[in-house]
Amino acid sequence: MTENSGSGDGKNEFADNSAVLIVDDEESLRLTFQMFLAREGYGPVTVASSYEMAMELLEKQEFDLIISDIVMEGSSGIDLLRKVKDLGMTCPMVMVTGYPNIDSASEAVRLGAFDYLAKPVKKDDLLRTARMALKQNDLFKENELLYSEKERYQRYLEAVFRSIKELVVCVDTEMTIIDMNHAAQEWLKSIDPDARPQGRIDELPGFTEILAFDAQTVLRKQDSVAEHRVEFTRDSGEQAIFRVSASPMKNRNNDFTGVVLVARDVFSQEAYEQLNKRRGLHRLVGSSMPMQTVYTLIENVGKVDTTVLITGESGTGKELVAEALHAESMRRDMPLVKVDCTAIAENLLESELFGHKKGAFTGADRDREGRILQADGGTLFLDEIGDISAMMQLRLLRFLQERTFYPVGEDRPIKVDVRVVAATNADLMGQVKAGVFREDLYYRLKVVDIMLPALRERSQDILLLVNLFIERFSKRLEKHIDGISDQAVGLLTRYRWPGNVRELEHVVERACVLCAGATITAANLPQEIELLEQHPVASNDSTTAQPAGGGTVAMPDIPQSEDERILSTLKLTYGNKAQAARILGIDRSTLYRKIRQFNIDLSVLENM
């Protein structure tokens, strides 16, 4: 080993924290190399006297540079070089030998050695070679890091591109497709299973009508196309509406390179949003638009301390609305007192509501607190308010006006803080016109009115309600029932439900009792529902049919025409034609044909 009077190299930027391994079976050379490198600022500098010792060190830590003699006792430096490369280590190796020749040099370079130094090694040569090797290693690591970051970013972009639900297509300035995301490829496959996502966009089925014109516009103007809506009709007759937009695609130098096109199936998106609307409020159940309106009313009106009149057919859930209004109000922690005006004899209703004093009438052997006083601070629910007598109408009107009342037999008024919610299935305005119900009381009750839809007006909620009732009654009956067949759902959907949700609940309870397996079938439904398939009615009026066992069964009115049945079933399935076809008991192709035959307007499904 020779040392020049001055290296002229000085410390360098690659010295600090650069781990170096020196492998040589001559101790003097190991220590000399270690001293030169350590003085230069490299470190830690570790030494090994043999191949085996070097491998032990390499298993324990990583090195930025290995300097190894080629000729050693036992395994050679070439063996070490070969092993390092086999293990995938990327640190550079500098080979040193006292017997330089072309063969050993070429073998070392072929195996990936960074450089080859001949003994005696000059200090300047050692330090220069170490610096260059570490510089290359640093550049290699930086390049690896950049490549890794690029790969990670590319994978991230690809994941985002694949996950976007909208159809995204990129084309170059020649209208040739550069790339399209998974959603676009799946949509293309649904149009033509044999089509490939390649070539010109204006030659692909479906994309020609939806995206090609926008691509041409952007290429011509090199400016964005604002979002607009495009109608599209499949070969099957199925219609779709797409929201389409297009933007120029530019590189880092802001050079125009193509077009990015985005399309969203509006109908599918709105159907998805419909399915994900809230499916209930408190004990009310339903995701249909009529029920969404009811939920909004309850939330808004519930917070306002005013009288509410709930109207709707029997069995639509008026009592549940009253409970929801109370739960949404500031009175939720106070009593909710319910009074069914038809369940109490007329001569007892006054005492039941207002209470009485002892001795007020025969049998009044003690003071009785009325329902109004029980509801003080809370809510009083008066169900079937349309059936109360004229005298009770007058007393109730005075109470609503003054918020005071006189118990029967009492001459001192009692003041209470009560919110009144009333409900009826009667046509109160008709009763007002007929002189049966007081007009002033009607308007006093109807400060805000909530009209509940009949079940036949929200048939898309039937399956949701059925599943709720199945879960409820299967637990109560200790049976494992977990579903209902499409055929049974079809029968339930076409039935007109004169008893509304209450009737549906009883039908499902009966079906659960009769069900022998895990699935409710059409055979488990009542006879009057099954007969609808065999005895279609000729009008919307109720009629009768002869059951197999004799007697008559009331036949509620159902949609008479086939196109009405198809449309109502499509509403039930939120436009899912495959499920609608199963419920209707026809092939999907037959359903498409009938949609075209009857010219059924599917756009109404968008507003469900």
* DSSP notation for 559-571: --SHHHHHHHHHH
- Which CATH number covers residue 548? 1.10.8.60
Residues 202/211, Cβ–Cβ less than 8 Å:
no
Q: For residue 428, tell me if it sits in a domain.
A: yes
Q: Quick one: 597 and 516 in the same domain? A: yes
Q: Quick one: 98 and 224 in the same domain? A: no
Q: Which two tokens stand for residue 470?
A: 């199945």
Q: How far apart are CA 34 and CA 43, in angstroms?
A: 9
Fill in the amino acid letter for 274. Answer: Q
Q: How far apart are CA 104 and CA 78, in angstroms?
A: 9
Q: Report pLDDT for 549.
A: 32
Question: Does 132 score more than 70 pLDDT?
Answer: yes
Domain that holds residue 219: 164-271
For the beta carbon of residue 516, count every other beta carbon within 10 angstroms. 10
Q: Report pLDDT for 306.
A: 86
Q: Are strands 280-281 and 419-424 parallel, antiparallel or unpaired?
A: unpaired
Question: Does 273 score more than 70 pLDDT?
Answer: no
Among 414, 435, 451, residue at a domain's last position: 451
Q: How many domains does the chain have?
A: 4
Q: For residue 288, tell me if it sits in a domain.
A: no
SS (H, E, C) 497-518: CCCHHHHHHHHHHHHHHHCCCC
Q: Place 324 in a pLDDT band, splitting at 50, 70 and 90.
A: very high
Q: Quick one: 400 and 473 in the same domain? A: no
Measured on CA atoms in the order 564, 570, 575, 577, is the torsion positive or negative?
A: negative
Question: Does 585 score more than 50 pLDDT?
Answer: yes
Comparing 235 with 187, which gets the higher pLDDT?
187
Mean pLDDT in residue range 373-377: 87
Going by the DSSP 8-state scheme, the letter that residue 64 receives in this structure is S
Mean pLDDT in residue range 532-557: 37
Question: Does 272 score more than 50 pLDDT?
Answer: no
Mean pLDDT in residue range 26-35: 85
Question: Does 302 score more than 70 pLDDT?
Answer: yes
Residues 67/133, Cβ–Cβ less than 8 Å:
no
Q: Report pLDDT for 13.
A: 59
Q: How far apart are CA 497 and CA 456, in angstroms?
A: 6
SS (H, E, C) 343-381: CCCHHHHHHHHHEECCCCCCCCCCCEECHHHHCCCCEEE
Q: Quick one: 315 and 228 in the same domain? A: no
For 241, the enclosing helix (H) or strand (E) is strand 239-250
Mean pLDDT in residue range 582-600: 74
Q: Which two tokens stand for residue 136?
A: 């290359």
Q: Which two tokens stand for residue 163?
A: 């996950």
Q: For residue 173, tell me if it sits in a domain.
A: yes
Q: How far apart are CA 560 and CA 44, in angstroms?
A: 92
Q: For residue 281, tell me if it sits in a domain.
A: no
For 299, the enclosing helix (H) or strand (E) is helix 289-302
Measured on CA atoms in the order 434, 436, 440, 446, is the torsion positive or negative?
A: negative
Mean pLDDT in residue range 335-353: 82
Residues 270/604, Cβ–Cβ less than 8 Å:
no
Buried b (16+ CB within 10 A) or exposed e, 76-99: bbbbbbeebeeeeeebbbbbbbee
Q: Place 349 in a pLDDT band, splitting at 50, 70 and 90.
A: confident
Q: Place 322 in a pLDDT band, splitting at 50, 70 and 90.
A: very high
Q: Quick one: 596 and 460 in the same domain? A: yes
Q: Which two tokens stand for residue 353?
A: 């509501």
Question: Does 5 score more than 90 pLDDT?
Answer: no
SS (H, E, C) 208-273: HHHHHHHHHHHHHHCCCEEEEEEEEECCCCCEEEEEEEEEEEECCCCCEEEEEEEEEEHHHHHHHH
Comparing 209 with 506, which gets the higher pLDDT?
506
Fill in the amino acid letter for 41. Answer: G
Q: Which two tokens stand for residue 11?
A: 């410390």
Q: Quick one: 417 and 525 in the same domain? A: no
Q: Place 192 in a pLDDT band, splitting at 50, 70 and 90.
A: confident
Comparing 471 with 347, which gets the higher pLDDT?
471
Q: Quick one: 440 and 471 in the same domain? A: no
Among 82, 112, 142, residue at a domain's last position: 142
Averaged pLDDT of the chain: 78
Q: How far apart are CA 354 and CA 351, in angstroms?
A: 5
Q: Which of 23, 17, 18, 14 is nearest to 84 (CA)?
A: 23
The region of weakest confidence among 41-50, 136-145, 159-168, 227-236 is: 159-168
Q: Are strands 115-118 and 93-97 parallel, antiparallel or unpaired?
A: parallel
Q: What is the pLDDT of residues 406-444, one digit of tens each?
A: 777 677 788 888 899 999 988 888 888 888 888 888 888
Q: Report pLDDT for 381.
A: 92
Q: How far apart are CA 364 and CA 361, in angstroms?
A: 6
Q: Report pLDDT for 336.
A: 92
- Which CATH number covers residue 252? 3.30.450.20
Q: For residue 154, tell me if it sits in a domain.
A: no
For the beta carbon of residue 268, count every other beta carbon within 10 angstroms. 16
Q: For residue 7, tell me if it sits in a domain.
A: no
Q: Which two tokens stand for residue 373?
A: 């006083």
Q: For residue 1, tell me if it sits in a domain.
A: no
For the beta carbon of residue 226, count every other beta carbon within 10 angstroms. 7
Q: How far apart are CA 45 and CA 37, in angstroms?
A: 7
Question: Does 160 score more than 60 pLDDT?
Answer: no
Question: Does 44 score more than 80 pLDDT?
Answer: yes
The region of weakest confidence among 320-324, 460-464, 540-544, 573-577 is: 540-544
Q: Report pLDDT for 489.
A: 85
Comparing 229 with 256, which gets the higher pLDDT?
256
Q: How far apart are CA 418 and CA 402, in angstroms?
A: 11
Q: Quick one: 306 and 373 in the same domain? A: yes
Comparing 578 with 114, which gets the higher pLDDT?
114
Residues 356/367, Cβ–Cβ less than 8 Å:
yes
Distance of CA 582 to the CA centre of its chain: 25
The region of weakest confidence among 352-366, 374-388, 478-492, 592-606 is: 352-366
Question: Does 8 score more than 70 pLDDT?
Answer: no
Q: Quick one: 227 and 85 in the same domain? A: no
Q: How far apart are CA 542 and CA 495, in angstroms?
A: 12
Q: Which two tokens stand for residue 55?
A: 């491998």
Fill in the amino acid letter for 308. Answer: V
Q: Quick one: 127 and 189 in the same domain? A: no
Comparing 154 with 34, which gets the higher pLDDT?
34
Q: Quick one: 387 and 438 in the same domain? A: yes
Q: Report pLDDT for 326.
A: 92
Q: Place 25 in a pLDDT band, splitting at 50, 70 and 90.
A: confident
Q: Report pLDDT for 325.
A: 92
Q: Place 606 in a pLDDT band, splitting at 50, 70 and 90.
A: low
Tell me the pTM: 0.47
Q: Which of 276, 204, 261, 267 is nearest to 241 (CA)?
A: 267
Q: Report pLDDT for 604.
A: 67
Q: Which two tokens stand for residue 231?
A: 């109608």
Q: Place 391 in a pLDDT band, splitting at 50, 70 and 90.
A: confident
Mean pLDDT in residue range 575-595: 72
Q: What is the pLDDT of residues 436-491, one digit of tens each?
A: 888 888 888 888 888 998 988 888 888 888 888 998 988 888 888 888 887 888 88
Q: How far apart are CA 332 and CA 26, in angstroms?
A: 92
Comparing 121 with 363, which gets the higher pLDDT?
121
Q: For residue 463, tell me if it sits in a domain.
A: yes
Q: Report pLDDT for 371.
A: 85
Among 142, 173, 192, residue at a domain's last position: 142
Q: Place 345 in a pLDDT band, splitting at 50, 70 and 90.
A: confident
Q: Quick one: 133 and 171 in the same domain? A: no
- Which CATH number covers residue 362? 3.40.50.300
